[in-house]
Structure 1
Amino acid sequence: MIDLYYWPTPNGHKITLFLEEAGLDYAIRPINIGAGDQFAPEFLAFSPNNRMPAIIDHDPAGGGAPVSVFESGAILLYLAEKTGRFGGSDLRQRTDVLQWLMWQMGGLGPMLGQNHHFTRYAPEPVPYAIDRYVTETTRLYGVLDRQLAERAFITGDDYTIADMACYPWIMPHIQGQDFGDFPNLARWHAAIKARPATERAYAVGKALRNEGAPMSDAEKKILFGQGARP
């Protein structure tokens, strides 16, 4: 059994995508980031960066004590190694999966996260920041669109953790993008959305909260003022 400390955000969805595809037994441990659950001492004990998702695997490969993992990319790598699935079938594909996973962790996620912040959550418009991050989102969409021009998935014919990492971050309707400009990306996105495991993974989040609901001022203060918290 795996305990998944989770809230329905792009990084949270990455892990439910894997768990549902792999058919692993897991239990959701909600971490309401708008309520400040991520600052609880018992959560910080194994997720010291006060971010979700995190997991505790009570049945690790080889047995022994439970294994805890924080950071979504590290969790995906751990689960791929645990199951022998979705991490690449040989050295070349594993290397390709790894570099695209790092691309998502170092670029796609952070840049699109800033897009979300300045276009949706900032207390007042900052035109330079909005232009900066919407423009960078366009560039990153283009990178992924070109990669998908002759491939079903990011690294080839196989669905991998690289796809699981990137998919939840592609939200053109809130990122100032038009799928019509990125036909390969649109085709890839539609294919993943149609997978039964994707439907199940997102249903987990819908059971916790309405993802379209506006964030309250109190929630914004907790989420974006974290430097003030121990």
Structure 2
Amino acid sequence: MITLHTWTTPNGRKPLILLEELAVPYDIVPVNIGKDEQFRPEFLKLSPNNKIPAILDDEAEGGPLSLFESGAILTYLADKYGRFLAPSGAARWQATQWLHWQIGGLGPMLGQLGFFAKQDDAFALERFVKEADRLLTVLDTQLAGAQYVAGDDYTIADIACYTWIIAAGERLKDTLGDRLDKPDLQRWLALVGARPAVRKGMAWKPRGV
């Protein structure tokens, strides 16, 4: 059984969506980052970086396995169940490069933009708006020539990018203005967002929240 320790952030929703796509049994342990639950000693054992998400697979090959970092978790689950990431060849590396692009670029830049949008720092805000727009243009250009982020097939790269773009649309619409209204980006958002597993993963909230 997979136990997912997570919260309602873009990174926290990534493995939740994938587990729904895989239709495998799993449990959720909410980690309320607003109450600093990610700093509890029991969570530190799973995630030395004190960040969600983290998983524990008590049926992993070789014995129970815990993993942190959303990209590692997505790759592990995709490989374990043989879906949403090609086992080898060019298709695998196309998806992997876009997954790492999201982890190293799109996510951090949108996260920083969210921070500086609340600060009185016009220079920093302009810098991160420009970089966010550049990254959104990169993604839109890629999607102009492909149905999904890494090509013709839906992969973990789509899941990784989708949660962050949706969060940007919800939280940064006033800051980004029409920069999210790129045609192929919007086409892809509608395509991915229509998937039942994506809808369920995006709608999850812990009780009482």
Output the TM-score relative to the length of structure 2: 0.92
Residue 156 of structure 1 aligns with an amino acid whose one-letter code is G
CA distance in 2, matches of 1:19, 1:162: 14
Identify the residue that residue 165 of structure 1 maps to in structure 2.
Answer: 160
2:205 is paired with a residue whose SS is helix
Q: Does the 8 Å contact 2:133/2:179 carry over to 1?
A: no
Counterpart-to-counterpart distance in 1, 2:155 and 2:124: 33
| Matches of 1:102 and 1:54, distance apart in 2 | 18
Q: CA deviation at 1:188?
A: 0.2
Find the residue that maps to 1:184 and give its secondary structure. Answer: helix
Q: Is 1:75 paired with 2:69?
A: no
Match of 1:146 among 141, 154, 162: 141
* Structure 2 unmatched ranges of 5 or more: none
Distance 1:173 1:131, change over 3 A: farther
**Does the 8 A contact of 2:169 with 2:180 survive in 1?**
no
CA distance in 2, matches of 1:14, 1:67: 19
Please say which of residues 165-174 and 34-43 is displaced more in the overlay.
165-174
Where 1:34 maps in the other structure, the secondary structure is helix
* Whole-angstrom CA distance in 2 between matches of 1:180 and 1:52: 26
* Secondary structure of residue in 2 paired with 1:187: helix
What TM-score do you get using the length of structure 1 for normalisation? 0.84
Bigger Cα displacement from structure 2, 173-182 vs 33-42: 173-182
Match for residue 183 of structure 1? Answer: 183
Aligned length: 204
Partner of 1:65: 63
Q: Is the 8 A contact 1:101 1:165 kept in 2?
A: yes
2 CA distance for matches of 1:149 and 1:2? 36
**Residue type of the alignment partner of 1:55:** I
Deviations 1:168-225 (A, max 9, x none): 111235331426741000000111111111111122237563xxxxxxxxxxxxxxxx
In structure 2, what is the equivalent of residue 203 of structure 1? Answer: 203
Q: Secondary structure at the match of 2:59?
A: coil
The answer to whether the 8 A contact 1:2-1:55 is kept is: yes
- Asked whether the 8 Å contact 1:149–1:184 carries over to 2, the reply is yes
SS in 2 for 1:158: coil
Structure 2 Cα separation of the partners of residues 127 and 98 of structure 1: 35
Give the % identical residues: 50
Aligned equivalent of 1:109? 107
1:65-121 deviations in whole A, cap 9, x for unaligned?
A: 21100000000010011011111264001011111111011000100100111114x
Match of 2:47 in 1: 47
Partner of 2:171: 174
Of structures 1 and 2, the one with the larger relative CO (CA 8 A, separation 6+) is: 1
- Contact residue 39 and residue 50 of structure 1 kept, 8 A: yes
Report if aligned partners of 1:179, 1:186 keep a CA contact under 8 Å in 2.
no
Matched, 1:133 2:91: no
Q: Could you say if the C-alpha distance between residues 179 and 115 of structure 1 is closer, same or farther in structure 2, counting changes exceeding 3 Å?
A: closer
Q: Equivalents in 2 of 1:192, 1:207: separation in Å?
A: 26
Residue 8 of structure 1: aligned partner: 8
Change (3 A) 1:82 1:89: closer
